[in-house]
Structure 1
Amino acid sequence: MARSAHAFVRGNTARFYEWLHDEDQPSIPHGPAIWICGDCHIANLGPVANDQGAVHIQIRDFDQSVIGNPAHDLIRLALSLATVARGSDLPGVTTVRMIEAMLAGYESAFPESDDDEPDIPPSIRLVMKRALRRNWKSLAQERINGVEPSFPVGKNFWTLTKRERSAIAQLMAQTEIVELATQLHHRDNEAHVSLLDAAYWRKGCSSLGKGRYAVLLDVDGGTSDGEDLCLIDIKEAVKSVAPHATKVRMPRDNAKRVVEAATHLSPSLGHRMRAATLLDSQVFVRELLPQDLTLDIDRMGRKQAMRVAMFLASVVGRAHARQMDASTRKAWRAELARNHTRTLDAPSWLWRSVTLLLAQHESEYLDHCRRYVAAEQR
């Protein structure tokens, strides 16, 4: 997290919600109780493939998902974008216009919502084109540093214990997991699925302290071109730190919560996920596809910033809108409009939230860097 202010923002979801509920924070609109991402920063959106091969820009991370206030997703995304803007040395004027573009993009998803994606900015279109060109070899080179059907033991992949390997073998033999591997449109639903290799997967900050495993499966023995190789991600699901709405029913099983949220927010990915139990831990399982990419935007130009902000906010808005009926969408848009004057003389609730959060995060980030340097010198 010391790498950049944006990396610090991404890695501090719990602190975000603590800061968000400080007494000094402005009041924010209370939207309908729907599934929200809970950790809606730039890197948690990107191209996602469905089981038929179609690719869409959608939310792609649901660890912190809850039934909650949709305004929280918008503030989290705005903070992420504003932090990137500062890291790109863009003037404050650009950040002002970017936040206004976000509100316009989000509101454009209401009161009506359909399946047609809004116009994709050139910078994100490039990521889409790259996603569509990718194949198994691309995925293997990126994730396991080679195309051999095995995990290289080292920094990122660790050897399993006998107990872990046995438990993973049993999990991969379960009917619903086998169906997960065969559901892609180019695979035979009746194909035999075999386990090739498995390893403990050391990933980024979102996985610290959680169980994470990588599994390679072979569908029907066709390993020569990689089309029938499956890279399976098994991740422990833990309690979300995002506040949830009162008097709502969510699955108590955290893995089922994650999968249900994904199904509502990003159907392309949700239908490719399963909830399970591994070694008494709640886990969710999904196949990683070559087309699944992160929008890792570290720098932006002025025009790009506003277009990206509007587009990503519209993606989030559509994920929210598809969960609401027409009357609820209309009411939520009216509430947003009531809290958003059309003149910059009266700052919006989103602008006030972001400016306060930026100042707090900047202070915390610098202190984090000081502690990081001190630890290196010991």
Structure 2
Amino acid sequence: MASDTTVAPGDREGRLTALRNLKMARSAHAYVRGNTLQFYEWLNDGGRTLPLGPDLWICGDCHVSNIGPVADRDGGIDIQIRDLDQAVVGNPAHDIVRLGVSLATAARGNDLPGVITARMVEQLIDGYERAMGGGRKAYRVVDRPDAIRLVMKAALKRRWKHLARERMKGLTPHIPEGKRYWPITPDEQADLQALVDTDAMRHLVTQLVYRSDAARLELLDAKYWVKGCSSLGNLRYALLLRVVTKNEDDEICLVDVKEALKAAAPRSPHGEMPRNNAERVKQGALHLAPNLGDRMMTGRVRGRSVFVRELRPQDLKIDLDQLDEVEAMRVARYLGNVVGRAHATQLDWPTRKAWLADLQRNRPKTIDAPSWLWNSVVALVQAHEGGYLEHCRRYAITQAR
């Protein structure tokens, strides 16, 4: 039965724009997440003082919520980058700055003093530099802080029933319409069914070690998925599939289908990337988050490029709520190390050594972080604070009409 919050396909655009504006008005941290373009505009203008790192795959939108536990196809879990929509071959300094801004706004959201923000930036670069390793070792891993351990512990305990309760509000094999799931058109249904019928989809779903390679897939339900912030308004679908086998019990799984747009993140003029945007996202994931990249396929829906992954109960995001001063610094160090390892595994030792030397230059006496990083974080936090207040003003005027 349809909910009173259901939105017809023809009314999506206006409702999604309003929802995105609401989400961005809730906090400065949410505004940073949803306004990625402001960061890219700054890079094209004031970001010229950043060091020019080696060409490698970068996240392009490396904020805190885009990092978290990610399950692999064999049942293992690791903390990796979990959103690669903006992945490009580019300057690794962009990921460092973007993460620094996200951590700084999270610190403000937790009412932490400014001196702690400065120490978090120090810890961020320390964790990143340790990931570059020493000698010929690929990287050094820092200890997980308690906040990350709790997320990992929760991820390890999660099963299909937990995912079903969150996404489906029950264990019945359908996706109920409501504020998160909206109806789709017959043309969308036909394209999604064609996607499910491909060998690539069957391979994607049956790659888990306990699923039969000979299983057959049935599309039980499909809905437009209202999810994310900066990506709201693009095609996004949730598919409920039944994995049918002859000699075993059937199984239910949930699949995410997401439109891949042209990356807005600045890319290297010399880097080679797939022209197809969904293939670009997949290649970025394979290099930066192999747990996720190994679980991806690409396709087309309504003539647009999409990438597809099965949702796993263990895939979670990290929320930095109610952190104390010590834990905030430890989290910053650990997340810096996660991003650093994703970069370091793409580089040989001479290149890592040269990049590490660049990172360790220009340390002012007042803060143990490169001046380019600290100055960039300060400038971007100021710009985003002003942008956030202006966004809230415009949002309030719109709501008052």
TM-score range, shorter chain: over 0.9
Note the residue ranges of structure 1 that are not aligned, 5 or more in a row: none
Note the residue ranges of structure 2 that are not aligned, 5 or more in a row: 1-23
Match of 2:329, SS?
helix
Match of 1:56, SS?
strand
Normalising by the residue count of structure 1, what TM-score does the alignment of the two structures yield?
0.95
Aligned Cα RMSD in Å? 1.9
1:325 to 342, 348, 353: 348
Q: Is the 8 A contact 1:187 1:228 kept in 2?
A: no
Letter in 2 for 1:197: D
Letter in 2 for 1:208: L
Matches within 5 A, 1:122-271: 122-220=146-244, 228-271=251-294
Counterpart-to-counterpart distance in 1, 2:77 and 2:263? 28
Q: How many residue pairs are counted as aligned between the two chains?
A: 375
Letter in 1 for 2:143: D
Q: Is the 8 A contact 1:29 1:339 kept in 2?
A: no
CA shift digits 1:80-135 (9 cap, x unpaired) = 00011111111111111111111110000114555885311001100100000000
Letter in 2 for 1:236: E
Match of 2:360, SS?
helix
CA shift digits 1:159-214 (9 cap, x unpaired) = 22221111111111110111000001221122222211111112232332211111
The 1:346–1:69 alpha-carbon spacing in structure 2 relative to 1, beyond 3 Å, is: closer
The 1:128–1:317 alpha-carbon spacing in structure 2 relative to 1, beyond 3 Å, is: same
The alignment-based identity, stated in percent, is 54
Does the alignment pair 1:4 with 2:27? yes
Counterpart-to-counterpart distance in 2, 1:275 and 1:13? 24
- In structure 2, the partner of 1:87 is 109
Counterpart-to-counterpart distance in 2, 1:347 and 1:179? 46
Letter in 1 for 2:116: T
Letter in 2 for 1:372: Y
CA shift digits 1:295-329 (9 cap, x unpaired) = 02234210011100000000000000011111111
Letter in 2 for 1:50: D
- In structure 2, the partner of 1:361 is 384
Displacement of 1:353 in angstroms is: 0.4
- In structure 2, the partner of 1:60 is 82
Match of 2:230, SS?
helix
- In structure 2, the partner of 1:278 is 301
The 1:259–1:353 alpha-carbon spacing in structure 2 relative to 1, beyond 3 Å, is: same
Match of 1:207, SS?
coil
- In structure 2, the partner of 1:287 is 310
CA shift digits 1:256-275 (9 cap, x unpaired) = 00000000000001000011
Displacement of 1:240 in angstroms is: 0.9
- In structure 2, the partner of 1:39 is 61
Counterpart-to-counterpart distance in 2, 1:359 and 1:116? 33
Letter in 2 for 1:179: H
Counterpart-to-counterpart distance in 1, 2:333 and 2:105? 16
Match of 1:205, SS?
coil
Larger deviation: 186-195 or 335-344?
Answer: 335-344
Does the alignment pair 1:103 with 2:128? no
Q: Is the 8 A contact 1:20 1:357 kept in 2?
A: no
Counterpart-to-counterpart distance in 2, 1:22 and 1:235? 30
